[in-house]
Amino acid sequence: MPDKNAVIDLIDRGIELVTNTAFSLYLYNNPAVADAIRKEFDDPNATVNLGRKDGSNHARRLHQDLAAARTPGHNLKLLRDSFGMVVISVGDTVLNQGFHDGSALKQFLRHLRNACAHGNRWFLKSGEPKKPAKYRNFEVTSALDGTGPVFFDFMGAGDVLDLFEDLKKSL
Assess if residue 158 is contained within a domain.
yes
Residue 170 contacts residue 103 (beta carbons within 8 Å):
yes
Total domain count, the chain: 1
* Domain with 159 in it: 79-170
pLDDT in tens, 114-131: 999 999 999 999 999 999
Assess if residue 30 is contained within a domain.
no
Assess if residue 9 is contained within a domain.
no
Assess if residue 28 is contained within a domain.
no
Cα 54 → chain centroid: 30
The model carries a pTM of 0.88
Residues 6+ apart with CB under 8 A from 73: none
pLDDT in tens, 133-151: 999 999 999 999 999 999 9
Assess if residue 103 is contained within a domain.
yes
Assess if residue 130 is contained within a domain.
yes
- Residues shown for the chain: 171
Assess if residue 72 is contained within a domain.
no
pLDDT in tens, 20-41: 999 988 888 888 987 887 787 7
